[in-house]
């Protein structure tokens, strides 16, 4: 087995310009997702309805997380 030592790491840059509004949107989106998943698990909505509701949640609560989902 050959082991290669890495002497430097590439720089990682993350944008951290989140204000209170952005954090509130993240929270609202996650809360809506949890609630929608409960409806699905209790059989109150179908899988197709779940997908439609989550699509609307991503539009209603535009967040960093919803943009990558």
Q: How confident is the model at residue 10 (pLDDT cuts 50, 70, 90)?
A: low
pTM of the complete model: 0.63
Run of H or E including 18: none
| pLDDT of the residue at 62 | 80
| pLDDT single digits (tens) 13-46 | 555 565 788 888 888 999 999 999 999 999 999 9
Q: In whole numbers, what is the pLDDT of the chain averaged over residues?
A: 80
Q: Which residue from 53, 64, 67 is spatially nearest to 23, judged by alpha carbons?
A: 64
For residue 38, give Cα distances in angstroms to 3, 35, 41, 42, 50.
48, 5, 5, 6, 10
């Amino acid at each position: 087995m050959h082991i290669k030592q890495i002497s430097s790491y590439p720089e990682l840059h993350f944008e951290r310009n989140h204000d209170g509004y952005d954090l509130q949107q993240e929270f609202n989106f996650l809360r809506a997702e949890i609630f929608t998943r409960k409806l699905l698990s209790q059989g109150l909505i179908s899988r197709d309805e779940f997908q439609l509701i989550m699509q609307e949640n991503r539009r209603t609560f535009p967040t960093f997380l919803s943009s990558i989902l």
